[in-house]
Amino acid sequence: MIIDWIYGLVGGLLIGLGGLILLIFNGRIMGASGILGQLIEGKQDTENLERIVFLIGVIAAPLIILQFSDFSTTNVTSNTIQLVLAGLLVGAGTRIANGCTSGHGVCGISRLSLRGLLATAVYISAGALTMVTLRTFWGLI
Partner 1 sequence: MIRLLVSSVSGLFFGFGLLISGMTDTAKVQGWLDILGQWDPTLAFVMGGAMIPMAAAWAIIAKKAPVFDLSFSMPSNKTIDFKLLSGSVLFGMGWALAGLCPGPAIAALGFGGNGIILFFVSMIVGMILTKPMRMGSISTADG
Residues ≥6 apart with Cβ < 8 Å to 55: 35, 36, 39
Residues ≥6 apart with Cβ < 8 Å to 119: 97, 99, 104, 105, 108
Report if residue 96 touches partner 1, rule: CB under 8 A.
Answer: yes
Contact 6, 96 (CB under 8 A): no
Residues of span 60-79 touching partner 1 by CB under 8 A: 60-63, 65-66, 71-78
Report if residue 16 touches partner 1, rule: CB under 8 A.
Answer: yes
Answer for which of 44, 49, 68, 138 binds partner 1 (CB under 8 A) is 49
In this structure, how many other beta carbons lie within 10 angstroms of the beta carbon of residue 99? 25
Report if residue 48 touches partner 1, rule: CB under 8 A.
Answer: no
Give phi and psi for 79, each to the nearest 5. -75, 115
Question: CB of residue 131 vs partner 1: minimum separation in angstroms?
Answer: 4
Report if residue 32 touches partner 1, rule: CB under 8 A.
Answer: yes
Question: CB of residue 82 vs partner 1: minimum separation in angstroms?
Answer: 6
Report if residue 113 touches partner 1, rule: CB under 8 A.
Answer: yes
